[in-house]
Structure 1
């Protein structure tokens, strides 16, 4: 077992906000519990720990899972893979440590580890009853590798691919389709159902611009019925502008949906993750409401169309926490605290970059959601 100790519980910042998207919504309160940082270059088995891009939690075992977006192109780091983790909370709720227990390769339909470059795992959701995991891949459009939404069994073998939403295929003129590396980033199962929400990092080309310091981006969140595999609805989440004007106009930075987590059947937690070269990351958590938003599934393009986007409410700007921020890409619920509140665990993707770090952040959430 390989782990990392507490970097310091710097403060317990309580933030309360009403989910104004629904008239009868109860308050959501977030309290910061602490953060821990993984040692750089940590090796587990024959792999280098890094690229952690999504999290899930198995309440029956108390274990977390973290998927790496490593495409397996560098054999010294290992294949596409998933880590099993254990997070330790102190008696009073602080995050004490995160330990890696094991690592397992993701397997393709033949039961073999994915060939290098064929998967870029970014989103993950746990299926009920220990049925397995949903794992999304952004693919690599520049190399002709399509994204996918995969259903994996308990042995991490890909068993089924859900159909891609319409309009994803890039057109020859570059005016339609998904933008490379701005595709599937988030996945979450709506509580009490078999409906799966899948988020795009930014808009499809035919829907609108990608984010800039002046432009928001209308990103589609897709709902699937898992038993049938049918796409049943799409809603628009408006991704905010890049929050910081870049010092170098030639390096504009970005902002996009890094992950989503369903609070209940209509409310999602959404991580907007931004990066400005020369400045760093911005990480903001929003509550977004499906209720009242237009179903745009039948709209081939959002341009010149009238629709109601999801209403969103800022819950937390993590810059206010006073801790080091990095490229946060994953979020999941964790165990309950002694006072009944649920925990949230977030993780940053270090991109295997020497200047970036794998950091876990813990929050307590108080909400009416089950």
Structure 2
């Protein structure tokens, strides 16, 4: 199904904010039969969500649509692909390629584990050779796939991060975020919730390190990645880590998210810095009172403070713009600000929306943060 991405003015705003190519005017997709298309700008009004963060626009064009017989929803992760397109991961084992300008689907591949079973696929990173790194929340696992969806292998996972009784993780609370740090030699996965025995608000961030020259390990199952340092990150009370995304300077953008029935979603964007944080490998219990140095974080924006831009919600929300936001990618830089693309996971349900958001953010200098 071909999609229209928004009304004319909204398409221009969202495309301009999320365009991944170097130059050229925004192009609207050809009209189609998408339902629920909506988008917003802030004509004559403030777009600020906070002093550092602004909302450029949003689009509901993908909500409750299909592409080549596959439901376009349940989107849990985004990553910029080679050539500027956007890879969008569904937690139902589908990996879409979205057009760089219109954000309409251009292809889809199915993913599976080594036995052909579906994944609870939540995190996504695109390696320098186009290999897809995908985290699955069920085990948890990190697997490597070709762009066509062929499984190449899996990375090792520490035993304590596995779901109980094999480990100490809670079901549906493991690798929710996945990102490659600049240079491509360090991979990081963020647990959504705390391990049993750790303080309820401290989650673990696991890294893998890759040694060797470019391309030497591409054919191996692990891609040359070996287990690296692990860190503790303190989430806000009642929130989990929904996404971790590297910034160009090696810090992390962290999405913390929660939901309260009858109230709606809380979504906060933090900047995190791994420098000076302790390696928590071998630390059995992170209590927060044990002197272990946790990852430092700085609040960039609570998205409840963003302008709604005419958005509507299908269930109670403190701001109708909000939904179950899970995916985040850095799509470029403009005038000293990073351009971000976010997506919400509709869980293929009637009360939630697949919504794309375009934000810009000015990061504090490393010395400041």
Structure 1 pair 51/226, CA: closer, same or farther in 2 (3 Å)? Answer: farther
- Residue in structure 1 matched with residue 174 of structure 2 by the alignment: 183
Query: C-alpha deviations, 1:130-167, integer Å up to 9, x for none?
Result: 3311100011xxxxxx2211111222222111111231
| CA distance, structure 2, for counterparts of residue 180 and residue 330 of structure 1 | 20
What's the offset of the Cα at 1:348?
A: 0.2
Aligned pair 1:132/2:131, yes or no?
Answer: yes
Number of corresponding residues: 305
Query: C-alpha deviations, 1:283-341, integer Å up to 9, x for none?
Result: 1000111111111112122247430111111101111113211000000011444x464
- Residue in structure 2 matched with residue 168 of structure 1 by the alignment: 161
Contact kept? 2:242, 2:255, Cα under 8 Å: yes
- Residue in structure 1 matched with residue 234 of structure 2 by the alignment: 238
Structure 1 pair 42/198, CA: closer, same or farther in 2 (3 Å)? Answer: same
Contact kept? 1:188, 1:260, Cα under 8 Å: yes
Query: Aligned-residue CA RMSD in angstroms?
Result: 2.2
Contact kept? 1:122, 1:186, Cα under 8 Å: yes
* TM-score using structure 1 length: 0.77
- Residue in structure 2 matched with residue 63 of structure 1 by the alignment: 85
Answer 1 or 2: which has greater strand percent: 1
Contact kept? 1:38, 1:357, Cα under 8 Å: no
SS at 1:346 equivalent: strand
What's the offset of the Cα at 1:221?
A: 0.4
Contact kept? 1:344, 1:364, Cα under 8 Å: yes
Contact kept? 1:2, 1:101, Cα under 8 Å: no
- Residue in structure 2 matched with residue 213 of structure 1 by the alignment: none
Contact kept? 1:266, 1:291, Cα under 8 Å: no
What's the offset of the Cα at 1:264?
A: 4.5
Contact kept? 2:62, 2:72, Cα under 8 Å: no
Residues 1-370 of structure 1 aligned to structure 2 (within 5 Å)? 1-5=2-6, 6=10, 7-10=39-42, 11-13=46-48, 15-16=50-51, 29-58=52-81, 60-70=82-92, 80-88=93-101, 98-109=103-114, 114-115=116-117, 118-128=118-128, 130-139=129-138, 146-170=139-163, 172=165, 177-209=168-200, 217-227=201-211, 228-242=224-238, 255-264=239-248, 266-303=250-287, 305-323=290-308, 324-337=321-334, 339=335, 341-367=337-363
SS at 1:347 equivalent: strand
Unaligned runs of 5+ residues in structure 2 are: 11-38, 212-223, 309-320
What's the offset of the Cα at 1:357?
A: 0.2
Contact kept? 1:197, 1:224, Cα under 8 Å: yes
What's the offset of the Cα at 1:208?
A: 2.6
Contact kept? 1:132, 1:156, Cα under 8 Å: no
| CA distance, structure 1, for counterparts of residue 147 and residue 180 of structure 2 | 17
SS at 1:308 equivalent: coil
Structure 1 pair 284/56, CA: closer, same or farther in 2 (3 Å)? Answer: same
